[in-house]
Amino acid sequence: MNERDCQQDVKTAQHEIVDGEHRMPPQAVRASNADPTCRFPARVTSCYQQFRVPPPTLSPLDDRVAVAGQIRPADLDDLARQGFRAVVNNRPDGEAMFGQPSTAELRRAAEAAGLVFLDLPFSGPNATPDQVRAFRHLMATTEGPVLVYCKSGMRSAFLWGTALLAAGASLEQVLGAALNAGQNLEPLAGVMTSLAEASR
C-alpha cells in the first residue's frame, strides 16, 4: 500500500487524520448520521500505522527543557540525535481512543535510544508534590536537554513552571518563559504557586 492508497482508504472510510488520530469529519457525520466515535475499518488502522505522523514541534522553555505535544516511538531516535538526554511523560495512558502510543512502548523506544524515561502522568493541573520533586530530581541528576510532553504541552509546561517556582524562580519569570514557548500559564498561576510551596 502506498501513501496515495492510504489517503484514499481514509477518504473511503469517511475518516480524516486530525492531530495524528483518525476521526470522522463533521460533514461525513451529517451526511451519514453516523457516530463520530465509531471504530474505523481494519485497513485504515493498518494504513495509519504504516505512515509516520509528522514529528512533534519542540518549544524551548529554557536552556535545558523543551515542551511538546504527544510524541511517538519513532521520534525517540531523532530526539537522541538532537542531543536530548531524557524524556518525561505527563500524559496518562488511554486518554485518546486512537493514536496514542502506550507509555510502555515509549519507554522501550526511549531506553533503546539511550534516553532516560521518566513517567509522571497527571490530568489537568493535578500534578502532585511528589511528581514535582521527581522532576526536580531528574533535572538535578541528568546532564543535557530534557523533553517534557503531554497531549498539547500545557501540562508539561505547568510541571516545569511549578518546579522552577519551587526552586526559587519568580512567577513573572516562569509565566514569561512559558508564554514565549506558546503556553499561557497565567490562569494556573495560583495553582502552580500553591503546588510549588507544597513541593519544597
pLDDT of 27 over the 60 cut: no
Express as a percent the part of the chain with pLDDT over 70. Answer: 74
Read off the amino acid at residue 44.
Answer: V
C-alpha cell at 96: 485518546
Are 135 and 120 within 8 A, CB to CB? yes
- How far is it, in rounded angstroms, from Cα 58 to Cα 173? 20
pTM summary value: 0.75
For 153-186, b/e burial (b = at least 16 CB within 10 A) is bbbbbbbbbbbbbbeeeebeebbebbeebebebe
Domains of the chain: 3-50 (no CATH), 59-199 (3.90.190.10)
Q: Over the stretch 68-98, which tens digit does the pLDDT of each residue have?
A: 999 999 999 999 999 999 999 999 999 998 8
Q: Is the pLDDT of residue 172 over 80?
A: yes
